[in-house]
């Protein structure tokens, strides 16, 4: 055995972690190599010094603190962050937890957004069938609202307002009046839980 | 082997909600656990805090506990991971290492105690300078008397890797501590 190989094994030799065959080889080498023998001696001296390392005593309250923290933890409700942490740590329930969260929070949020639309139905006199583009253009320009629909052969203009959006009815009237010889007969503001498509369908009818 | 069986029996009791069994586990392992962590982080207060975290993890994991290996291997795996997590959280751990730990020579009246404290500091400083995996491997081997096989399970590597970790760690320690040994400070 060469010195380099023997030295790499000296720690395991000192730790008594070598098989008998390897131990014999090392011992044989150590008997014939003064440098490696000195290295072994130095290493064992260093690790004898480890025995000097002081030990500390746990505080007398240690166990009580742990028990108290466990009790507190059991009283505390599980937070969303902890569910996320758990999902990240455990790959199998990860998808299940993710789906659960989507089901619980994201889907209702999307549904509520889409269903929280408010519609403004305006009965307009003088609307010419298939010639409503100026009304739409004016409404979009003046009120800034893009969701405007007028069903063919209908005198009802429908403005759909998303959640949190408002419209000034005076501006709506001005926009319709400026688009041509039209007269707004009445306004109906309806908060609806139905989807936009349903509102439009109703207008179409 | 008897201890091994005792620990597993206790842990299975904890699994079924037996709080006194958990207290027994804590009573038995608190000192070695705190000392292992103390040697790793170098700060008594921090060591106790991390040890508290370790035992809370033991309690929380009890429901999923399966006696596949020795209890100590499982326990020290939790200790190691918690120490590594703490190190990630507090990268300035080495700065706090000497905060409260080096005894002030002026405060001590007994030379023998001084000498012991001083040599203790050299050893601790040398251990603290090692990379985290080498450091924990040395601590588990030298102070907890764990075998290379047990350390390999804790660090999730082969026994050859543990041999290599300890080889590099101990050569580094020798380099740091030999001058003090020659001067007779240790």
Provide the domain limits for residue A98: 62-112
Are A41 and A26 in the same domain?
yes
CATH of the domain at A188: 3.30.70.100
* CB of B45 less than 8 A from some CB of A: no
* CB of B141 less than 8 A from some CB of A: yes
Domain membership flag for residue A57: no
Q: What band does A146 get if pLDDT is binned at 50, 70 and 90?
A: confident
Structure tokens at B99: 């905060």
Are A69 and A125 in the same domain?
no
Q: Residues of A with CB below 8 A from B27's CB?
A: 63
Domain membership flag for residue A154: yes
Q: Which residue has the higher pLDDT, B170 or B91?
A: B170
Task: Please tell me the distance from the alpha carbon of residue B95 to that of residue B128, in angstroms, as a whole number.
Answer: 11
Task: Please tell me the distance from the alpha carbon of residue B14 to that of residue B21, in angstroms, as a whole number.
Answer: 6
Task: Please tell me the distance from the alpha carbon of residue A204 to that of residue A79, in angstroms, as a whole number.
Answer: 47
For chain B, give every domain's residue range.
Answer: 1-101, 106-186
Q: Residues of A with CB below 8 A from B124's CB?
A: 53
**Highest CATH level, class, for B1-101:** mainly alpha
* CB of A28 less than 8 A from some CB of B: no
Are A32 and A108 in the same domain?
no
Are A45 and A74 in the same domain?
no
B106-186: in CATH 3.40.50.1820? no
Are A87 and A163 in the same domain?
no
Are A101 and A81 in the same domain?
yes
B154 closest CA partner among B36, B34, B55, B7: B36
Q: What percent of chain A has pLDDT over 70?
A: 71
- The tally of CA atoms less than 13 A away on the side-chain side of residue A23 is 8
* pLDDT of B100 higher than 70: no
**Could you give the number of structural domains in chain A?**
3
Interval B106-156: pLDDT, tens? 444 444 445 556 667 788 888 889 999 999 999 999 888 899 999 999 999
């Amino acid at each position: 055995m060469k010195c380099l190989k023997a030295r790499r094994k000296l720690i395991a030799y000192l730790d008594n972690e070598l098989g008998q065959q390897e131990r014999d080889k090392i011992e044989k080498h150590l008997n014939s190599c003064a440098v490696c023998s000195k290295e072994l001696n130095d290493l064992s001296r260093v690790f004898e010094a480890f025995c000097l390392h002081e030990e500390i005593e746990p505080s007398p309250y240690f166990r009580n603190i742990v028990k108290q923290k466990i009790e507190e933890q059991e009283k505390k409700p599980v937070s969303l962050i902890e569910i996320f942490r758990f999902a990240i740590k455990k790959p199998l329930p990860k998808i299940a937890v993710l789906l659960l969260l989507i089901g619980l929070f994201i889907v209702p949020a999307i549904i509520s957004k889409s269903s929280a639309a408010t519609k403004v139905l305006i009965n307009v006199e003088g609307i010419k069938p298939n010639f409503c583009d100026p009304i739409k253009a004016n409404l979009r320009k003046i009120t800034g609202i893009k969701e405007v629909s007028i069903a063919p052969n209908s005198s009802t203009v429908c403005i759909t307002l998303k959640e949190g959006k408002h419209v000034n009815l005076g501006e709506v009237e001005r926009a319709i009046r400026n688009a041509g010889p039209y007269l707004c007969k009445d306004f109906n503001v309806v908060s609806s839980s139905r989807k936009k498509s349903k509102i439009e369908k109703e207008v179409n009818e | 082997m008897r201890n091994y069986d005792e620990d597993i029996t206790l842990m299975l009791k904890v699994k079924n909600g037996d709080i006194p069994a958990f207290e027994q586990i804590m009573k038995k392992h608190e000192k070695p656990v705190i000392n292992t962590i103390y040697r790793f982080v170098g700060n008594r207060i921090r060591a106790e805090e991390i040890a508290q975290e370790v035992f809370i993890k033991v309690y929380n994991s009890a429901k999923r506990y399966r006696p596949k290996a020795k209890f100590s291997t499982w326990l020290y795996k939790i200790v190691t991971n918690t120490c590594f997590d703490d190190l990630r959280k507090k990268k300035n751990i080495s700065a706090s290492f000497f905060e409260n730990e080096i005894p002030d020579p002026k405060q001590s009246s007994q030379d023998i105690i001084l000498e012991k404290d001083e040599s203790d500091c050299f050893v601790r400083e040398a251990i603290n300078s090692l990379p985290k995996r080498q450091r924990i491997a040395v601590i588990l081997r030298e102070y907890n008397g764990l075998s290379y096989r047990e350390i390999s399970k804790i660090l999730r590597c082969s026994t050859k890797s543990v041999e290599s970790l300890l080889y590099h760690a101990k050569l580094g320690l020798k380099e740091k501590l030999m001058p003090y040994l020659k001067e007779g400070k240790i």
